[in-house]
Structure 1
């Protein structure tokens, strides 16, 4: 690989014995410094992107890294062979880096990421395709704002990152390898991400699934994504790869078993890997020249089966899903939410040929039917290449040298005073903001105590050394905690504790000068700061939520779409044809949806919520726009529980004043694969007759 020297800005090739290096993750802007530009620094300095290169190198030099990898200038994109190699090796580059600096050029560290006012959750970085692997692959990830100020790390912000990306928080806690998640779940993490080149939607996922293939720009996004799935099938028999849902507009289309883009996995975050062992040697499947050859448990679609699809597939106008040629095929996959089995519709086109029909549906089945036969024959499976585990920076137990800690006070913490600087093990530094400590191996821990001259409230940083260095923050006389698990010891690169005067943050930075050195930085957030509450919060994923339409069809009023949600949260997701609205963690959760014509004057509100001891009662109410969404929310919030139970219904109707038009809103529990637990339906009933002067239309709620 090719690395950039952080001091000389010169590139060097490394084929073996690659030195420790930092790596930059960013979104491309105008005038990025290319491989050709960096050959001549005078030319490079003229480009706007040079500031990004310079600051990245300065950040790396600060922590003793001589080398850094930056995709814009370390890859010669004029060489197709080198570009192909880099695309296939990209995941490995980020996995092997000592630290990954994520530069968010559209984010300010003024607000903590848990503060709704923060632009962290809206950063373009979280919406790009390539940055998904850049988030998952590295051992250590540090987020930096537009001014290169530290925002936090993947570990300290793991709940926020999980809420934004829909990736389970366990992935960032070191307890789970991403290979433990089903193909469908990993695909769902990329569902809402975009790439400049359509083909990159597939190429950017190769490392996440451990496959390689030559990039062919110009083949189109769908074809590239199908090639990716074919490569995954070669090393995996996880049938969740077929657990995708097309857009509702494709209800009457016929498809094969492969998805066309990651977007079609947007509903699949709860789909577990298939239990293919239950069908023995029939679990394998492969491509032939006439399609995918696969064994599938089938069942007929009688009337009761069709009723479970929560649509009108079996009404008088369309009974296609109930004819003799349509069957339900089980994927052998279950929902991790309720254990339901997933099935999809197949239509028979010849004696042994099928196509997938109603591709916008994955149906829930309570059990796996029909019963599987006892298979005696065996299949010899190809052993997949296992992913190399993350190589956390640790110390070899045979190394007899001692760990050196450098503890720095950041500008916000300059008022702290070290009360035991003369203790053994402390090395004096000309920098008054730094204390260096070398704990003895014979000691259980070394405590470095700080306090302020005003409050004299102490806190202690306990420094440890086992086979690897570790630290713990302790306030005042609080009892010392038991040592956490090994995985937390390795991953815990930041901690926050609240004192009487504010919040104290201690985080570690990865350095390259010596694998035994650790740099700790102390930050302080005053108790009067509006951000202090967000430093110690932890986001929790909602247990319930609504799938709602993002567009509502009306014969005359076109482009009616969802234009607002109040209150909006981290877990709200908007797709092309629908939106997912999580319910806030309150006793009676609800929210106000606003629909209208963007930029126009027509709009209306729809209130949806849950009610009851266990939120088993669901309700909706649709109304005009005389009040704002915030005002409506407050009025409902102030109602008593009894008042709510009387006035709220599962179905509500509202009349539009210009025409004899009625909008009906109804809520029901989900019966097929959907995000959340409930489904909102909106339907216009119109006769397009203009209202006469003075004529009134009764509104039924």
Structure 2
């Protein structure tokens, strides 16, 4: 492994005893400094990317990191062997790092990420393929804005990051990603893009713990097929087959498919698919590739629909939906005695109960026990746990009207700097300690509790308002937390920990004034909605003239971070608290490609606990906000009869527009499907 010295900017090779290092995650911009450039600093300084290296090294040095890994200059990409090794080891590099600094060159700290005005959610970093593993692999992830100011950590922003990426928040709270099925993990990459199509597959190898040689030029589909074949070698999770082809690709020319997907995008609807319960079929859960296709045992059942033909069957994947427990099945067509193809690849059917029993076929298979990967970072932490840990609590400028009131001589040390207090924790002599801060301005106080667990876990810390009794702090169940926020009367205290290249910790305390427009975003937590609509994102008009036009979705109100846009459809989430408690609703604005509004479609539920949906079309001249308020508490608030309509038709001077809402009958995000049909007179 090659690391960059943060002081001298010299590269050095390490083959064993790799020192603690930080790592940079970023999106490539113009004139990045390469391996060849960094060996001649005069050349490197002429490039725009040199400022990025200077800034990240300065931050690393600030927290005592002597070494850092940067993909642009620590890999010699002119060597195909070295590039192949780096691609296969990339996940490990990020997993082993003590700290990962995520530089978001297109984000400003002006607004908190929970504020809809923030550009955090729109950052290009969340849309790139390689950054998925860079988000998942490290233990400590710090987000930095375009000016290198700290935005927050993966832990403190876990609800925001979960909303943006569709990755369950439990992953960022420490749940092992290997406990999620193949389809679920694939869905996290569905909307990400890479410069080279093959990298859509190569960037996922570490997430599935497989290796394969990169072959640039083989094409994205072939590379992704190879990735799935490698996953199948170590996993019998049949959710790998729980994908849905894009409806735009479903036609008479590609109706028949095999069992493997062609890209991560085909898993875009599979976030709720749990891993298969292969134990229910015993030894027959194994499957393998032969020269005539994938050999697998599939429970089949006939279809009552005669239009499908007597050669089409439903095959169960032994997978269930996390949402309602339904079993998933796909359609296959028999082409010869033992040969089948997948048909209707844009559908996965729901079945309420498990499939008919298998025939009594015996087949023996031998399964390898996977070897768990262990991060070198955690190995170092385990060693450090037996030593004393020094905490440095620093009041940032905004919080310096508070002062530490601790007067006990045990382990607190007041430095010459009045804004810093240091605490040394030892496992057995002083396993717990608390620091209380007060301000003379308002008399408010907050307490930091430091705890060194006797069970062998890493040290942890909690933040609470006031000055609770010592016994009360002992009763709190500690957990890993690298940042938290608590409300006070005059504002809020933000508290986070910066890891360093040494064993000590830097606790940084910030104050957010009550008058700050961002305070509510700092202190709230996002909750993923349980309901929602799949709606068309583009709609060709059936015009009577020769001039075909397209209407597309140009906005949804109120905004929600969990909204997703796909190639031909969009996901519009619906929370019980949207609008008032009586009427959750969304207003969808459709218009022409130049952004000119054409009409609005309203969708919603009768109440916060109701599953009854309704829809209406609005073509008036009121603003979207005015229409929304008229339904929440205005002129249309009491028209309950209107809300009970699941279909709607309206005649305009441009044609007839009809809408309908129905509950989902196939795998999709959300719970309902909105259909639009327009016969245009253009």
TM-score, length of structure 1 as denominator length: 0.91
Aligned to 1:476: 466
Partner of 2:163: 163
Distance 1:264 1:396, change over 3 A: closer
Show CA shifts across 1:480-531 (max 9, x none): 445666xx63x31112111111111111111113x2x121111111111111
* Residues 1:484 and 1:54: Cα distance change in structure 2 (over 3 Å): farther
The corresponding residue for 2:487 is 498
Which one of the candidate residues 449, 452, 459 is aligned to 1:465?
452
Tell me the CA shift for residue 292 of structure 1: 1.2
Distance 1:57 1:32 in 2: 15
Structure 1 pair 2–681 and aligned structure 2 pair: CA distance change class (3 A): same
When residues 248 and 395 of structure 1 are mapped into structure 2, their CA distance, relative to the original with a 3 A threshold, is: closer
CA distance in 1, matches of 2:34, 2:620: 52
Q: Secondary structure at the match of 1:135?
A: helix
* 1:398–1:108 Cα change, 3 Å: closer
What residue in structure 2 maps to residue 684 of structure 1? Answer: 678
Please tell me whether the aligned partners of residues 279 and 375 of structure 1 are also in contact (alpha carbons under 8 angstroms).
no
SS for the counterpart of 1:142 is: strand
Which residue matches 1:456? Answer: 443
State the partner residue of 2:63. 63
Closer, same or farther in 2 for the Cα pair 1:389/1:371, shift >3 Å?
A: farther
Q: How does 1:606-621 map to 2 (within 5 A)?
A: 606-612=601-607, 614-621=609-616
Cα distance in 1, alignment partners of residues 589 and 407 from structure 2: 60
8 A contact 2:447–2:467 mirrored in 1: no
From 592, 598, 605, give the equivalent of 2:600. Answer: 605
In the other structure, the counterpart of 1:130 is 130
1:333 aligns with 2:328: no
Q: What RMSD over aligned residues (CA atoms) do the two structures have, in Å?
A: 2.1
1:421-436 equivalences under 5 Å are 423-436=409-422
* Residue 84 (structure 2) pairs with residue 78 (structure 1): no
Shift of 1:625: 5.0
1:25-424 alignment, distance < 5 Å: 25-174=25-174, 176-252=175-251, 253-303=255-305, 319=307, 322-373=308-359, 378-388=364-374, 391-392=377-378, 396=382, 401-420=387-406, 423-424=409-410
User: What is the deviation of 1:613?
Assistant: 6.2
Assess if the C-alpha contact under 8 Å between 1:251 and 1:357 holds in 2: no
Q: Secondary structure at the match of 2:649?
A: strand
Using the TM superposition, give the Cα deviation of residue 394 of structure 1 relative to its aligned residue in structure 2, in angstroms: 7.2
Deviation, 1:264, is: 0.4
Structure 1 unaligned regions, length at least 5: 304-313, 691-701
Partner Cα distance (1:416, 1:673) in 2: 54
Structure 2 counterpart of 1:671, from 656, 659, 665: 665
Aligned to 2:639: 643
CA drift at 1:72: 0.5
CA contact (8 A) 1:159 1:538 kept: yes
- CA shift at 1:139, angstroms? 0.9
Checking the alignment, whether the CA contact within 8 Å between 2:631 and 2:637 is kept in structure 1 is no
Deviation at 1:439, TM superposition (A): 4.3
CA distance in 1, matches of 2:380, 2:20: 13
The aligned residue for residue 579 of structure 1 is 570
Give the Cα separation in 2 of the matches to 1:399 and 1:294: 48
21 and 394 in structure 1: CA distance in 2 versus 1, 3 angstrom threshold: closer
Q: Is the 8 A contact 1:240 1:333 kept in 2?
A: yes
1:383, CA displacement in angstroms? 2.4
Does residue 533 in structure 1 map to residue 520 in structure 2? yes
- Aligned position for 1:694: none
Quick one: distance in 1 between partners of 2:387 and 2:355? 63
Q: Give the gaps of 5 or more residues in structure 2.
A: none
- Could you say if the C-alpha distance between residues 52 and 483 of structure 1 is closer, same or farther in structure 2, counting changes exceeding 3 Å? farther
Secondary structure, counterpart of 2:271 in structure 1:
helix
- 1:309 corresponds in structure 2 to none
Cα deviation per residue 1:396-435 (whole Å; 9 max; x = unaligned)?
5897643211111112122222233673433343333222
Asked if the contact 2:555–2:588 (Cα under 8 Å) also holds between the matched residues in 1, the reply is: yes
Instruction: Kindly indicate whether the alpha-carbon contact (under 8 Å) linking 1:285 and 1:295 is maintained by their aligned counterparts in 2.
Output: yes
The structural deviation recorded for 1:150 is: 0.9
Deviates more, 1:352-361 or 1:264-273: 352-361
The one of 531, 539, 547 aligned to 1:544:
531
Per the TM alignment, residue 454 of structure 1 is displaced from its structure 2 partner at its CA by: 1.4
2-structure distance, mates of 1:665, 1:192: 28
TM-score of the pair, normalised by structure 2: 0.93
Instruction: Render the CA deviation track for 1:349-391: whole Å, top value 9, x for unaligned.
Output: 2222211111100011111221335666543223233343685
Task: Give the conservation status (yes or no) of the 8 Å contact 1:542–1:583.
Answer: yes
Q: Tell me, in whole angstroms, the C-alpha distance in 2 between the residues paired with 1:286 and 1:393.
A: 36
Inter-partner Cα distance in structure 1 for 2:376 and 2:638: 55
Q: CA contact under 8 A between 2:606 and 2:644: conserved in structure 1?
A: no
Q: CA deviation at 1:577?
A: 1.3
Name the structure 1 match of 2:591. 596
Distance 1:43 1:346, change over 3 A: same
Deviation at 1:596, TM superposition (A): 1.5
Which one is further off, 433-442 or 610-619? 433-442
Give the CA deviation at 1:456: 2.8
Structure 2 residue aligned with 1:697: none
- The secondary structure found in structure 2 opposite 1:346 is strand
> 1:655 pairs with 647, 651, 665, which one?
651
Q: 1:559 maps to which residue?
A: 550
Q: 1:400 to 1:542 in 2, by over 3 A?
A: closer
Aligned partners of 2:54 and 2:275: how far apart in 1?
45
Partner SS state of residue 209, structure 1: coil
1:91, CA displacement in angstroms?
Answer: 0.2
Report how far residue 449 of structure 1 moved. Answer: 2.4
CA–CA distance in structure 2, aligned partners of residues 397 and 166 of structure 1: 35
